[in-house]
């Protein structure tokens, strides 16, 4: 039987890694994920992410809902659109988005990812 996953009551899968150097534009920041949920078919994930200051290239194959808990980041599209996000901001990055993610102040977010 399926159970509801409450983030602060669930022991998540934890991963810490450096941003791959081939994606880095400025620095080589450490990123951390606490994946609290993964669907059985491997298409939906949810948890917490934290990134240290730096800037790297992004190319989304998935749809991602984000809610920033702390810090400040800037997302830039290859077309030049720029959006700054901080604590309390919620947004969706659609599949097909390409550009850069810059962490200005260590950022933590809740994520919910759907990979079609």
69-108, pLDDT tens digit by residue? 999 999 999 999 999 999 999 999 999 999 999 999 999 9
The predicted pLDDT at position 94 comes to 98
pLDDT band at 10; cut points 50, 70, 90: confident
Average pLDDT taken over every residue of the chain: 97
Handedness of CA 65, 27, 14, 73 (dihedral sign): negative
Domains in the chain (CATH in brackets) are: 14-114 (2.60.120.10)
The predicted pLDDT at position 2 comes to 84
- pTM, 2 dp: 0.94
3-state secondary structure (DSSP) of residue 25: strand
């Amino acid at each position: 039987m399926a159970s509801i996953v409450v983030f602060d009551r669930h022991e998540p899968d934890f991963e810490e890694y450096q941003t791959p150097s081939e994606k880095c534009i400025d620095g080589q920041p450490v990123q951390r994920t606490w994946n609290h949920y993964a669907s059985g078919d491997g298409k939906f994930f949810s948890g917490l992410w934290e990134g240290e200051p730096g800037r790297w290239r992004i190319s989304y194959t998935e749809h991602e809902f984000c809610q920033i808990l702390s810090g400040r980041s800037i997302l830039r599209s290859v077309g030049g659109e720029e959006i700054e996000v901080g604590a309390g901001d919620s947004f969706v990055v659609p599949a097909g988005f390409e550009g850069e993610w810059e962490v200005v102040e260590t950022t933590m977010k809740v994520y919910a990812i759907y990979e079609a």
